[in-house]
Structure 1
Amino acid sequence: MQRMVPPTIGAVPATHRRRSVPVAIVIGAILSLGAAGTLVAVAGPYDAEIGALREDIDDQRSIIAGRHDHIAEMQRRLADLDQEVADTEGLIGLEDRELRLLPIRIELTADRFVEVLASREAPTALHRTMAVDAYVSNDERLNDVLTQSAQLTSTALEGVRHRMLYDSVIREAQRRIELVDAEMRVTAKEVAALRALVTQAVDRRDGSREDRDRLIDSQPAIHADIAATRVVISEAEVTITELEEEIRAFELMAVTRRWTGVQGTDVARPALAVKIDNVTRAHPQAGLNQADVVYEELVEGGVTRLVAVFQSTSADVVGPVRSARTSDPPLLQGFDRPLFAYSGANRGTKSQLRDSPLVDAGFDAHEEDYWRDQNRRAPHNLFTGTDRLWARHADRTAVPPAPFAYRYPGQGLHESAEPAGGVAVDFGLTEVDYAWNGTGWVRTHGDRAHSDADGVQVAPTNVVVQFIRYGRSLADLRSPEAITVGSGDVWVFTDGHVIRGQWQRPDADQPATFTADGTEIRLSPGNTWVALAKKDTAVWRD
């Protein structure tokens, strides 16, 4: 048989939506694909968190840079202070030198003052005695001078001689005394000026010492500031190390199966949805426990069919594969052109499938990838394998948007979570129940345990009861059509609790989101079953 390229309608892929997950440090092995380990792996969905952490690192580095600038400024200040201290020490040295010289100058000036003072005694004594001494001694030179006046009589001459001699001596002595007094006044002023210089020099030296001491006293505070700043730098460096560790942890977490939140490598391949029979005659089914997500939807007659969606893991045998319904394209198209495996469909449903972004991986497109189990009765005996179908689309390497948001390791449940023991959903003829057993929600179908072909009872990690409306399918008015675009109530059962909230899906090209009190509801890492239930058809118990 010639291999045919499956038809793809609306080939533009949906925009991948990144879900936000808070930081957690995850230690341990993260590569656990086993046989799938040879497939191409892609990074996980934590770019926003890693980006925020890198911004925090940039902030810390800015703090460090600012603190280094502050230290440099403080060190410049210390250098300036050291220079000011050195300059002040120089001024103090100059004043000390001046103070050593000024006493010498004062002493020399004082000696000169003493000499001047002593020299005053001579003219003073002369003032008293010279006239008498000269007169008594009858000095010839003086007499010659005194007798030169021929006009004077001897009596008059004698009187003049006495008077001239006396006045001359007195005037000379007085002149000498005045000169000495003037010199003494000058010397006294010099001494006073020198003493003033001493006072000024002492004041300047003391002021310089105070300045020096103040400068020196200010240095310990600057050193303390530098030390404290270095502590801030060290703390910022520690913070950077911690943030880098968190980034590495996120990078480890990023290497998780996006579709289940379980550690392991995301496989670069599309989602694969398989339509599975769910009537009692079709039990036990194969591959249910390997699927990442299983949707249960109402079909004709009050029975249900399952849509098992695979991405992170594969199953060698999946089935029994049954026909598609018009509920399927809008339910699945948010997973970025998923492969859709089904046994067939009526004309209207086929037309809708062709007009959808789903990639036809059904029996008619790839008959050679399907087989019938001869130990079962048709139409409950058609099977396929996931790897067979993925192999036909090896060029599809983009990981589709995750169906849910998952809790990271160690993260608590939503604050509105309530303890729950189980939930029962009544689809009509099909009644199912999930009961918490400590690790998962064990499923019963009717009154019997729902087990797969390997005898393992279905017990998903999470159960979601998504309340929706069912309309009539235009392809077959007898067939109900699930309305999965819009909003409504949702019950999320995880880890022994229920979180009652709302689902929103305004855009068919994106998966639904779940919130409670405006906050995102996160599921526990693992597989999930979703019951697309009508309003008032489910009851949960504590």
Structure 2
Amino acid sequence: MPTSRTKRPAAAALAALTLVVTAACTSSGGGETPSAPRAKVLAVKIDNVAAARPPTGLEKADIVYVEQVEAGLSRILAVYSSGLPPVIGPVRSARETDLELLRQFDEPTLAYSGAQSALRPSIESAPIEALPPSKAPDAYFRSGDRDAPHNLYVRPGKIPHASTGVNAAGDIGLRFAAPPQGGTPVNERTVSYPSARFTFTWAEDRAEWLVSMDQTPARTASGRRLGAATVILQDVDVQPSRFRDRGGNTSPFSATVGAGSAVVLRDGMSYDVAWERNSADSATGFTTKDGEPMTFAAGQVWIVLVPD
């Protein structure tokens, strides 16, 4: 178990400094977002059952949201802005939770395979650019190396989306800077859904939390181990929604507007923090026990919505 914070490589330190400057006009509490430039976000709903792994392009996301879906399984909402991989997937259907999460961003594009008919009016009225295969057929393809429905992929270069190069995490107020005082050394944390499990293990040599899913090391399509610079375990109220999947299972809704507790993992340390999001149009602020804005390590951020 680490006893001191790991020194980040020079490149990471430079990246952190750059992001601090970018986020200087951002309020890290109360949910305000910076003025300009805003991130141009592409969000992709990614399948996450065993048959859908390994994912493609997930390692390039700025933010990886993990949420509970039907039957206690998990699904991922990957948010891209600072850069786009050539292929992302496998792509699956959208959920009500995604619509509330995406209200934090400025008219994001959502790539998804489809949605329940009852949810479609909500998607159409949401302030997003909805982009299922029916609207961009040339951007999607099915791979022959796995069975449907776990083989649908999207090519970002073939959809009407232009990246601004702004980091989506900094855009919604996550401030990248040196860690605060008061953390507790930790080398592993696990989160469980009824039918899914995530473990984050600190790897000092990579300065990342290595991801395991269902007790198996999670890797990218290229074989590299998935890892996050920062992991946020955000306690949320998970409620049954009015929507059901084809099997008759009720779709859960994870409420991300409100307030609650969270645990932030960074640099081999754990921090107990509070989160607050005043409205769907505001971003989520994270504060330490001292009431100061929480800071995050430069790199990919995973936000796991944990049933409270």
TM class, shorter-chain normalised? Answer: 0.7 to 0.9
> Is 1:286 matched up with 2:286?
no
Distance 1:454 1:313, change over 3 A: same
Paired residue type of 2:183:
A
Secondary structure (helix, strand or coil) at the match of 1:433 reads strand
Any residues of structure 2 matched to 1:498-509 within 5 Å, and which? 498-509=270-281
2:24 counterpart residue number = 46
Deviation at 1:29, TM superposition (A): 11
Structure 1 segments unaligned to the other structure (5+ residues):
1-25, 32-42, 49-257, 259-265, 536-542
Deviation at 1:528, TM superposition (A): 0.8
Any residues of structure 2 matched to 1:353-368 within 5 Å, and which? 353-368=123-138
Give aligned-pair identity as a percent: 31
1:422 counterpart residue number = 188
Distance 1:267 1:281, change over 3 A: farther
Distance 2:181 2:120 in 1: 44
Distance 1:420 1:473, change over 3 A: same
2:44 counterpart residue number = 274
> Is 1:380 matched up with 2:153?
no
Deviation at 1:374, TM superposition (A): 1.3
Deviation at 1:386, TM superposition (A): 2.5
Task: Kindly report the root-mean-square deviation, in angstroms, between the aligned alpha carbons of the 2 structures.
Answer: 2.7
Secondary structure (helix, strand or coil) at the match of 2:138 reads helix
* Larger proportion of strand: 2
Secondary structure (helix, strand or coil) at the match of 1:519 reads coil
1:308 counterpart residue number = 78
Match of 2:202 among 436, 451, 463: 436
Secondary structure (helix, strand or coil) at the match of 2:273 reads strand
Paired residue type of 2:22:
G
Higher RCO (C-alpha 8 Å, min separation 6): 2
Normalization by structure 2: what TM-score? 0.83
Distance 1:510 1:486 in 2: 11
Distance 1:415 1:450, change over 3 A: same
Distance 2:203 2:96 in 1: 35
1:80 counterpart residue number = none
Distance 1:268 1:519 in 2: 24
Contact 1:405 1:523 in 2 (8 A): yes
Deviation at 1:456, TM superposition (A): 0.7
Any residues of structure 2 matched to 1:155-304 within 5 Å, and which? 270-304=40-74
Deviation at 1:341, TM superposition (A): 0.5
Match of 1:478 among 240, 243, 250: 250
Paired residue type of 2:295:
R
User: Which structure has the larger Rg over C-alpha atoms?
Assistant: 1
1:457 counterpart residue number = 225
Normalization by structure 1: what TM-score? 0.48
Contact 2:266 2:296 in 1 (8 A): yes
1:528 counterpart residue number = 301
Secondary structure (helix, strand or coil) at the match of 2:104 reads helix
Distance 1:27 1:386, change over 3 A: closer
Match of 1:338 among 108, 115, 126: 108
> Is 1:405 matched up with 2:174?
yes
Distance 1:267 1:371, change over 3 A: farther
Deviation at 1:404, TM superposition (A): 4.4
Distance 2:141 2:221 in 1: 16
Secondary structure (helix, strand or coil) at the match of 1:368 reads helix
